[in-house]
Amino acid sequence: MGANGEGLKKRSEIPTLPVMGMEKYKLIMESTREGVWIIDAENKTDYVNQNMANMLGYSIDEMLCYPLFDFMDEEGKTEALKKIERGKHGIREQYDFRFVRKDGSDLWTIIETSPILDEHGNYIGALAMVTDITSRKWSEQVLRSRIKLAEYSLSHSLLELLQATLDEVEQLTKSEIGFFHFIEDDQETVSLQNWSTRTLKEFCRAEGAGLHYPMDKAGIWVNCAREHRPVINNDYASAANQRGLPPGHAAVIRLLTIPIFRGEKIVAIFGTGNKPTNYNDQDIEAALLLADLTWEIAERKITEEKLKKANKLLEEQIDEIKKLQEYLREQAMRDALTGLYNRHYLHENMGREISRAGREGKVVGVMMIDIDNFKHFNDTYGHQAGDEILIALGGLLNRVTRHEDIACRYGGEEFIVIMSGTNIPSMEERANFIRETFASLHLLFEGKQLSATLSIGIGFFPEHGETMDKIIKAADRALYEAKQAGRNCAKIWHDASKAGRVSE
CATH number of 343-492: 3.30.70.270
Whether residue 206 is predicted with pLDDT greater than 80 in this model: the reply is: no
Angle, in degrees to the nearest 10, between helices 134-153 and 158-173? 170
CA–CA distance, 422 with 311 (Å, rounded to integer): 52
pTM of the predicted model as reported, rounded to 2 decimal places: 0.47
Q: With CA atoms as reference, report the closest residue to 324 among 87, 154, 102.
A: 154
- Domain spans, the chain: 3-132, 137-331, 343-492
User: What's the pLDDT score for residue 7?
Assistant: 36
Q: Are β-strands 490-492 and 454-461 bridged in parallel, bridged antiparallel, or unpaired? A: parallel
Domain 3-132 has CATH 3.30.450.20: yes
pLDDT over 70, % of the chain: 88
Q: How many helices (H) and strands (E) does the chain have?
A: 15, 19
Mean pLDDT, residues 288-304 taken together: 85
Residue 495 CB neighbour total at 10 angstroms? 9
User: What's the pLDDT score for residue 118?
Assistant: 87
Full DSSP string of 133-153: -HHHHHHHHHHHHHHHHHHHH
CA–CA distance, 87 with 113 (Å, rounded to integer): 8
Higher pLDDT among residues 301 and 398, named by residue:
398
Q: Which fold has domain 137-331?
A: Beta-Lactamase (3.30.450)
Whether residue 182 is predicted with pLDDT greater than 50 in this model: the reply is: yes
CA–CA distance, 276 with 55 (Å, rounded to integer): 19
CA–CA distance, 445 with 387 (Å, rounded to integer): 11
Higher pLDDT among residues 39 and 319, named by residue:
39
Residue 433 CB neighbour total at 10 angstroms? 12
CA–CA distance, 476 with 470 (Å, rounded to integer): 10
Task: Please report which confidence band the pLDDT of residue 384 belongs to, taking 50, 70 and 90 as the band edges.
Answer: very high
The model's pLDDT over 57-92, given as tens digits with 9 standing for 90+, comes to: 999 999 999 999 999 999 999 999 999 999 998 889
The model's pLDDT over 228-276, given as tens digits with 9 standing for 90+, comes to: 999 999 998 887 666 655 566 677 889 999 999 988 899 999 999 999 9
